A and B are shown apart, each in its own frame.
Chain A
Amino acid sequence: GAVVSQHPSWVICKSGTSVKIECRSLDFQATTMFWYRQFPKQSLMLMATSNEGSKATYEQGVEKDKFLINHASLTLSTLTVTSAHPEDSSFYICSARTYRNYEQYFGPGTRLTVT
């Protein structure tokens, strides 16, 4: 299957700082990338959908000024959590969709802890 990388795999930051997470599709081009978050023992929650070269579409209840998404190329999307607070601590997972058959592959995730 296709490979999606994510960096960093885990990060600890202080409250009020910003954190950037990178997501790359390594062996395919992805016109559409997705960002999810997942709390322990809960379902995946879609945060936003991004298409290369255009603004991200955020799900209801997700603050677009807090979670900045940039999809600058067909292989790279970034999520920046601005002014992070402890309640932002979660498992953030990116996903990229291939051109054909709508197959969607997930990165390994980034575990964010805000102290």
Chain B
Amino acid sequence: QKEVEQNSGPLSVPEGAIASLNCTYSDRGSQSFFWYRQYSGKSPELIMSIYSNGDKEDGRFTAQLNKASQYVSLLIRDSQPSDSATYLCAVIRYSGAGSYQLTFGKGTKLSVIP
């Protein structure tokens, strides 16, 4: 089982709609969860971090975490063409010897259609 799983997409939504991106993780001991946005040819940009069960809102973005179900999601309200990018789910896992490593999913490509 892959450690962090995402639907690769592409996910297409019309402009103004809500885009819903989902992620599951396998390590039940994971404590920190992140969403990154990566435009083509660019490096990843941290857009949301979440550590507790429930919802966390930041502007048009809402991250949702359910540790019992090992599930993280990202909602993008009022989607804009500029939101078209690959969204990476990332989870901190303990990698031994006091080290913690960020493990990425393969990413979901979002396309917002004008």
Chain B: how many interface residues by the 8 Å CB criterion?
Answer: 21
Is the pair B49, A106 in contact by a Cβ cutoff of 8 Å? no
Interface residues of B in 67-114 (CB under 8 A from A): 88, 90, 92, 99-102, 104, 106-107
Is the pair B42, A108 in contact by a Cβ cutoff of 8 Å? yes
Is the pair B43, A107 in contact by a Cβ cutoff of 8 Å? yes
Using a CB–CB cutoff of 8 Å, the interface residues on chain B facing chain A are: 32, 34, 36, 41-46, 49, 51, 88, 90, 92, 99-102, 104, 106-107
A91-B43, A101-B49, A106-B36 given; name 7 further pairs at CB < 8 Å: A44-B88, A93-B44, A101-B51, A104-B102, A106-B44, A106-B45, A106-B46
Give 14 A-B contacts (CB < 8 Å), ordered by A residue. A34-B102, A44-B104, A46-B101, A49-B101, A57-B99, A91-B41, A95-B102, A101-B51, A102-B100, A103-B34, A104-B90, A105-B46, A106-B44, A107-B43
